[in-house]
Structure 1
Amino acid sequence: MDRRGRRARPLSRLRAAAGLALALAASTALASDRLRPLRAMAWLAPGADLAAALGREPAECLKTPADPALARSVEIGRAAFRDPLLLGGQAARAGLSCESCHAGGRDNPRFRFPGLSGPPGTADVTSSLFSRVRGDAVFNPRPIPDLAGPRATLKTPPEALPAFLRGLVVEEFDGAEPPAAVLQGLVDYMAALDPAACPRAREAPVTLAGHLANARRALAAAATAPDPETAARMVAAARAALFLVDERYQRLPAETQALRAAAARLAPLQAAARAGAPDLARDLDGWLSDSRRLERRLAAREAESLYAPARLSGLQPDRP
């Protein structure tokens, strides 16, 4: 029985647990084209067009605020939105972030997570797969909303967003209490997603430059964060962005080694951020400067990596 007195569904939970196990295995599978070399393949429907699903993403409809302080808050929220560690628990272990469901802050019609989704583009937000608090033992997936769509279509009014987002992180996904600046950043980021700011093209290619830009933007947010814990969260978000690059280059050993060396340099910077080190901004600037040379090296072989649509199309995921 669950906390509301309803009888749990053992088969549903077994299926959900099996789905999560597959997703977790996918996040570490690196060796063969018959495995899932990209973590996001764990939440695609069988038979999905991999070049379309993993080679393109919805264009972000972000209207950067004119106020500098508000713009900095939006950048904090943007980085946290893309970091699986925000959600914590099983979601973080599977590599799920807010952006996994809301790609580019939009919807995600290709999302189909085992045990969490029904048809592609849906998710059960009261699943006990991720939450001990909101799990209701009822499989009731709902369509994933477009956060940059018309405001009238979103069920949560702006004044209720802080409580809603905190509940999502802490209760829906069993994540740790987010710092106040991170929570406010998420609120401000969602408010800055504006239908009027949407590019003419609905989708854009997924590129090395885009992922590295996300890492740099997170580090820039760390340098101006209002408190040490938020700064540390931003460095963690940058490391998460670098993981997305790493898995695309996994079959290019020299480039992977250079990338992992750069990522390893962020670990002590994350600790320094949490400790409130006075030289953090200088050290982050050093990393950012060096990252330009790394990007040139990686870009020279981007066509051989899993950013190339032709190589994505050739993958053969090992699906049950």
Structure 2
Amino acid sequence: MGKKKQFYEDYDALFIKPKLTAKKEKPSVISLWKQVNKAPVVSAKQQAQKPSTKNNSAKKRQHQKKKKSWDFLWPAGIFLAIIAFAIYGNSDSSDSSDDYGDDYESEYVDVRPLQEAGIKRTGSIDVSQPLVATLDDKIVYFNKGYKIEIKGDVDVEQQKDELSVLPTNKDYPSTTSIASLTFYSGRDYLRSVSMGMSGNLIVSLSDYIKTSKGDDIFTKAYPQESVEGVQTGYVVKYEKESDYIYLTIQRYFIFSDGTGVWLDTYSTSTKETELKPTDSFKGIKKAYSEDFEFLEENFLLTKDSEEAK
């Protein structure tokens, strides 16, 4: 009977489906980190197989002590490596930044054309007397006893409500924009001009020149005769880039305390003429006569009789 029962059990076992094993997931970086740093698990069977002698216990304690030391040193080593990398990286970037700054300073030079032309203030500075401008239609009045009349077909847009700057002999004076001017010819757009003023115009009109371009770039002042005791003249900014020429012309008016007004416009000449820093103002004015005539004819500086009273 026992053999017959055993026979049926073996027979049934042939038709029992084996249990499906769960698909193993790919271990993540965090799980691997935990596996590396977790304490080893010792089964009861393994513990039973180990002889409980004092030597083995001592070795076990020594091994655990060494492992704890490595467990401590491993993250500490990583931390120190990160600190070292950060210090080296900052040092390297700082050196690169310094090199970039040195290269930039050697490649560009700050030009102050009015100073280079020897222009100086003719009077003293009174910080209690700011330069104040008042815009009335197409006339700009100044509290220094002067006015500038804007002629031609023009739209005038005042830039700020309060137009004033304090006189100073500092290198970085206060400046402000007076107005943006748009000129037309038969209501067809002609050109734009910006008008501003400074507490020390002699240093405000400046430019950065790329020295490697040689004579293809320059900024130079050309003083003219004073008008009603006000120093006047032009600053020409010239740059040749490939087949193109960029020319900016500024006209300036400097009052006795060094405060002043400037006009700024781009050349609209259809005939581009190459210039050199050594060219005379007469030759430059002839080459771009249309631009210089425009600035002379459309901005008239005179004494303000009402202010004088």
Relative contact order higher in (CA < 8 Å, ≥ 6 apart): 1
Which structure has greater helix proportion? 1
Same fold per superposition (TM over 0.5): no
> TM-score, length-normalised on structure 1?
0.22
> TM-score, length-normalised on structure 2?
0.22
In terms of Rg, which structure is larger?
Answer: 2
